Amino acid sequence: MRFMVIVKATRDSEAGKMPSEEMLAAMAKFNEELVKAGVMLDGAGLKPTSQGARIRFSGGQRSVIDGPFTETKELIAGYWIIQVKNKAEAIEWMKRCPNPYNEDGEIELRQFFELEDFGESPAVEHHKAVGEQIAAQKN
């Protein structure tokens, strides 16, 4: 299963302040570890919201709001996409992440929808039935 690991923004990241050389080095080492383990699929840092925009939907209307946005803790400063066996493995990997913040902060792990999550359908039922058949054969 895949997880998106979301790094929240901070005052520093929103101010466009680049991480210290030390932090960049630690992060590069951590990323290398993830890649070598075949876990990291993708990842990137994001520029401050002053470079971004929002599109607000209201019925058929769309209005564009330019950054920056103020509610810092709700903003995103970067992400990883990782592939792991389960949530415990995702957590264990990301606990090893160097602290990306100079202040208290959080990173958030969110699981991707996968094939098996697409609700009730003949295909999903079929897959389940096959799994049960295999289990039954084994016993």
Distance of closest approach, residue 67 Cβ to other proteins, in angstroms = 26
Is position 101 an interface residue for other proteins (rule: CB under 8 A)? Answer: no
CB closer to other proteins, 46 vs 72: 46
The stretch among 11-19, 63-71, 99-107, 116-124 that binds other proteins (CB under 8 A) is: 116-124
Positions in 5-24 near other proteins (CB under 8 A): none
Distances (CA, A) of 100 to 21, 54, 76, 112, 129: 12, 25, 13, 23, 45
Looking at beta carbons only, is 41 or 76 nearer to other proteins? Answer: 41
Q: Which two tokens stand for residue 62?
A: 């769309």
Evaluate whether 106 touches 95 at the Cβ level (below 8 Å): no
Residue 18 and residue 24: Cα distance in Å, rounded? 9
> Rounded CA gap, 112 and 134, in Å?
26
List interacting residues with other proteins (CB under 8 A).
35-39, 41-42, 81, 83, 85-86, 88-89, 91-93, 114-115, 121-123, 126-127, 130, 133-135, 137-138
